[in-house]
Structure 1
Amino acid sequence: MQPERRSDATRAAILRAARERFAADGYQRATIRAIAADAAIDPSMVMRYYGNKAQLFAAAVDVRLRLPDVAGIPRDRLGETLVAHFIKRWEGDPSDDALLTLLRSAATDEAAASRLRDIFASQVAPVALAVCPDPAEATVRAGLVATQMLGLAFCRQILRLPPVVAATPSSLVVQVGATVQRYLTGELGAVLP
């Protein structure tokens, strides 16, 4: 194996182990030694590649939602498209998903909670702004979409609530998609501040 490929493989192993450890233990209790042990490497290698625990955490939870371009989606399919996007992402390898790592950590660590808020504000709010009927509502609408996406992830991947786990992805796309659609383009009524 070439040194560059070995380096990439080592980095990937460290990030995978870090995500799992941060998810299981939270930021405060996770240690570089435990992460290194999980990755089957020396702790000095973690420090070599990432510097310190804070920098490793930042790399482990560097989340790009990779949301679909809403310009190419029929307006009445936005909710279903977004829900399908998130489900597909989580159904792959949820233990290696930085967003789920953040969700697990956010309950006990303010840095993780802050990062999660930033991700949804910077990546979901522009989608809401592009499609909502009133631009002044974009932030509220993005927040409501976040409640559905994070709630679904929490119940299906972390809490493993039996009826939600048993639901097929296609049924979740239809059911949750309808709510997300309303949050994006429907009447909000008294929800607004």
Structure 2
Amino acid sequence: MIRNSEATQSRLLMAAKGQFAANGYERTTVRDIAAEAGVNVALINRYFGSKEELFAQAVAIDLEFPDLSDVNKGEIGERLVRHFYTRWEGNYADDLLRVLVRTAATNATAADKIMKILNGQIVPLVTKLTGEAGAQHRASLVATQILGLAYCRYILNLGDDYLDPPDTVAAIAETLQRYLFAPAT
């Protein structure tokens, strides 16, 4: 019985990821998710409590930062920007990163997920890079650039006409370098 429960939850989670990635949060219905998973819609509430909670679990995103320990300090900003471009334009799972950014503007659960990613992944990375115990401010500044770029390129669809990756990488990388390593004021 436990295995069936775990298998059903897993199917619902996979179906939710697919639906949210394809349709976004607002246009995805619990009926669509249940239908794709091949289960009764009531099981979403049973296992996850609500569409919002299912969404929160579906967008459990690991940014998979590269190891930057051997990278020249002056190249870290560029590596980070390139990493994000790769993630956004990468595989199926990365569609959820764009969905999360889009949804966070109007959904408290999504906004909370972004804050958890900031505090759980970006702050530790910045702390490791800078050696500063209080890297929260620097990490927040980095997040403004990365999230702003994601929002403009993938939500507002400014795309290559306005945000051509080679030109944009250089400009954003310079800003990230300053946010990461400029003397604190």
Question: For this structure pair, what is the TM-score category when the shorter chain's length is used for normalisation?
Answer: 0.7 to 0.9
Q: Secondary structure at the match of 1:119?
A: helix
| Gap regions ≥5 residues in structure 2 | 1-6
| Alpha-carbon offset, residue 79 of structure 1 | 0.5
In the alignment, what sits opposite 1:125?
Answer: 123
1:159 equivalenced with 2:156 (yes/no)? yes
1:3-32: CA deviation from partner (whole Å, max 9, x where unpaired): xxx9878753442113344x351xxx7430
Matched, 1:12 2:14: yes
Structure 2 CA distance for aligned equivalents of residues 178 and 46 of structure 1: 48
Matches within 5 A, 1:68-87: 68-87=66-85
Over the matched positions of the two proteins, sequence identity in percent amounts to: 37
Mapped contact 1:144–1:183 kept (Cα < 8 A): yes
Task: Classify 1:15/1:63 alpha carbon distance in 2 versus 1 (closer, same or farther; 3 Å).
Answer: same
Superposed CA offset, 1:40-59 (max 9, x none)? 84544973995442442122
Moved more, 108-117 or 42-51: 42-51
Give the corresponding residue for 2:113. Answer: 115
- Using a 3 Å threshold, how does the CA distance of structure 1 residues 98 and 122 change in structure 2: closer, same or farther? same
Cα offset for 1:123? Answer: 0.3
So what's the TM-score if we normalise by structure 1?
Answer: 0.76
Distance 1:46 1:141, change over 3 A: same
8 Å contact 2:59–2:96 — kept in the other structure?
yes
SS of the aligned residue for 1:156 comes to: helix
Distance 2:86 2:38 in 1: 31
Cα RMSD after superposing both structures: 3.1
* Secondary structure in 1 matching 2:17: helix
1:145 is matched with 142
Unpaired stretches in structure 1, ≥5 consecutive residues: 1-5
Q: Deviations over 1:88-117 (max 9, x none)?
A: 011125785222221111111111111111
TM-score with structure 2 setting the length: 0.79
Match of 2:61 in 1: 63
